[in-house]
Amino acid sequence: MTDRQIIVPDGMRLIYERAGYAPAVKVGKTLYCAGQVGRTPELSVIEEPEQQFLAAWDNLRIVLEAGGCKFEDVVEMTTYHVDMHRHMPIFRRVKDKVFPRNTCAWTCIGVSELARPGLLVEIKCVAVER
């Protein structure tokens, strides 16, 4: 049996302690990342959509790197969107700037709300370390 390793990047200790979940769990070479949102390290929601999306990607990058992976190692991704049709053009533009295209399976799901008021997207993924 492979051991599970809890991944908590330094800047995410507060979310780990306050919310009681791990930002990621690594089993062997596979990294399971919890959904990341556009918030500050102090857990404040970033209001402006483009800046919120950039922060969500940056938070995901931080979790991946703490687990020994990069965006290029992501094999499966699910994004959850509030008011998806309104914000998808901005989200795609930001995604295309920071995340490699056509490298993983991606599912988009529209939802009525996320964990905190004002959140517009949550990005979760599975990566396999190369």
Per-residue model confidence as pLDDT tens for the chain (130 residues): 569 999 999 989 988 888 888 999 999 999 999 999 999 988 899 999 999 999 999 999 999 999 999 999 999 999 999 999 999 999 999 999 999 999 999 999 999 999 999 999 999 999 999 9
Q: Which of 74, 87, 95 is nearest to 119 (CA)?
A: 87
> Rg of the chain's alpha carbons, rounded to an integer?
14
Which residues lie below 8 Å from residue 53, measured CB to CB, with a gap of 6+? 38, 87, 90, 91, 94, 95, 120, 121
Question: Would strands 105-111 and 30-37 be described as parallel, antiparallel, or unpaired?
Answer: unpaired
Phi, psi of 50 (to 5 degrees): -60, -40
Q: Which two tokens stand for residue 127?
A: 């990566």
